[in-house]
Protein backbone atom coordinates (compact mmCIF):
# COMPACT_ATOMS: atom_id res chain seq x y z
CA UNK A 1 0.00 0.00 0.00
CA UNK A 2 1.29 3.48 -0.91
CA UNK A 3 2.12 6.05 1.75
CA UNK A 4 -0.55 8.69 2.41
CA UNK A 5 -0.37 11.73 0.12
CA UNK A 6 -1.56 14.18 2.78
CA UNK A 7 0.68 17.07 3.71
CA UNK A 8 2.80 16.07 6.67
CA UNK A 9 3.62 18.16 9.72
CA UNK A 10 6.53 17.99 12.10
CA UNK A 11 5.22 18.88 15.54
CA UNK A 12 6.91 19.98 18.75
CA UNK A 13 6.59 18.30 22.17
CA UNK A 14 3.33 20.21 22.78
CA UNK A 15 1.78 19.13 19.48
CA UNK A 16 2.12 22.45 17.64
CA UNK A 17 3.33 22.61 14.04
CA UNK A 18 7.04 23.26 13.56
CA UNK A 19 7.36 22.56 9.85
CA UNK A 20 5.31 21.20 6.96
CA UNK A 21 6.41 18.70 4.31
CA UNK A 22 5.14 17.97 0.85
CA UNK A 23 4.23 14.27 0.59
CA UNK A 24 6.69 13.93 -2.31
CA UNK A 25 9.57 15.34 -0.22
CA UNK A 26 12.36 12.78 0.03
CA UNK A 27 13.70 13.94 3.40
CA UNK A 28 10.63 13.61 5.64
CA UNK A 29 11.80 12.67 9.15
CA UNK A 30 10.19 10.01 11.30
CA UNK A 31 7.41 11.11 13.62
CA UNK A 32 5.61 13.53 11.32
CA UNK A 33 1.81 13.47 11.28
CA UNK A 34 -0.77 13.93 8.53
CA UNK A 35 -2.64 17.18 8.06
CA UNK A 36 -5.98 17.60 9.78
CA UNK A 37 -9.23 17.12 7.90
CA UNK A 38 -12.46 19.03 8.29
CA UNK A 39 -12.87 22.47 9.77
CA UNK A 40 -9.90 24.66 10.36
CA UNK A 41 -8.58 25.47 13.78
CA UNK A 42 -7.48 28.82 15.15
CA UNK A 43 -4.36 27.17 16.56
CA UNK A 44 -4.10 23.51 15.47
CA UNK A 45 -2.46 21.14 17.97
CA UNK A 46 -1.88 17.41 17.59
CA UNK A 47 -2.95 15.37 20.61
CA UNK A 48 -0.64 12.34 20.60
CA UNK A 49 -2.75 10.41 23.15
CA UNK A 50 -5.90 10.78 21.07
CA UNK A 51 -4.07 10.52 17.76
CA UNK A 52 -5.95 13.48 16.32
CA UNK A 53 -5.85 17.23 15.79
CA UNK A 54 -7.57 19.44 18.35
CA UNK A 55 -8.07 23.16 18.94
CA UNK A 56 -4.99 24.49 20.70
CA UNK A 57 -6.28 28.00 21.35
CA UNK A 58 -7.94 28.78 24.66
CA UNK A 59 -11.44 30.25 24.47
CA UNK A 60 -10.00 33.62 25.53
CA UNK A 61 -7.62 33.56 22.55
CA UNK A 62 -10.46 32.70 20.19
CA UNK A 63 -12.60 35.48 21.64
CA UNK A 64 -9.73 37.93 21.17
CA UNK A 65 -9.30 36.86 17.54
CA UNK A 66 -13.01 37.29 16.88
CA UNK A 67 -13.29 40.50 18.93
CA UNK A 68 -14.79 43.29 16.92
CA UNK A 69 -15.65 41.00 14.04
CA UNK A 70 -19.26 41.26 13.00
CA UNK A 71 -19.65 38.44 10.51
CA UNK A 72 -23.22 39.39 9.62
CA UNK A 73 -22.78 43.09 8.82
CA UNK A 74 -19.24 43.13 7.48
CA UNK A 75 -18.72 41.65 4.03
CA UNK A 76 -15.86 39.20 3.70
CA UNK A 77 -13.06 40.56 1.56
CA UNK A 78 -12.27 38.91 -1.73
CA UNK A 79 -8.83 37.93 -0.40
CA UNK A 80 -10.41 36.19 2.61
CA UNK A 81 -12.88 34.39 0.33
CA UNK A 82 -10.02 33.21 -1.87
CA UNK A 83 -8.04 32.02 1.17
CA UNK A 84 -11.04 29.95 2.32
CA UNK A 85 -11.50 28.51 -1.16
CA UNK A 86 -7.83 27.51 -1.33
CA UNK A 87 -8.08 25.82 2.08
CA UNK A 88 -11.23 23.98 1.01
CA UNK A 89 -9.53 22.80 -2.18
CA UNK A 90 -6.47 21.66 -0.21
CA UNK A 91 -8.69 19.61 2.10
CA UNK A 92 -10.47 18.01 -0.87
CA UNK A 93 -7.12 17.25 -2.55
CA UNK A 94 -5.79 15.71 0.66
CA UNK A 95 -8.82 13.42 0.94
CA UNK A 96 -8.64 12.45 -2.76
CA UNK A 97 -4.92 11.70 -2.57
CA UNK A 98 -5.38 9.65 0.59
CA UNK A 99 -8.19 7.66 -1.05
CA UNK A 100 -6.14 7.15 -4.21
CA UNK A 101 -3.30 5.57 -2.26
CA UNK A 102 -5.57 3.00 -0.62
pLDDT tens digit sequence for 45-94: 999 898 888 999 899 888 887 876 655 556 678 888 888 888 888 877 77
Query: What are the beta bridge partners of residue 9?
Result: 20, 33
Q: What is the pTM of this model?
A: 0.55
Domain ranges of the chain: 8-100
Q: Are the CB atoms for 5 and 98 separated by under 8 Å? A: yes
Contact residues for 90 (Cβ-Cβ < 8 A; gap 6+) = 7
Buried b (16+ CB within 10 A) or exposed e, 35-66: bbeeeeeeebbbeeeeeebeebeeeeeeeeee
89 phi, psi to nearest 5 deg: -65, -40
Amino acid sequence: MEESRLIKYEIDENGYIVRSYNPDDSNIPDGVVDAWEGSGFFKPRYNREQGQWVEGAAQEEIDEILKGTNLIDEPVSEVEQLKEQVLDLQRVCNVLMANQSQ
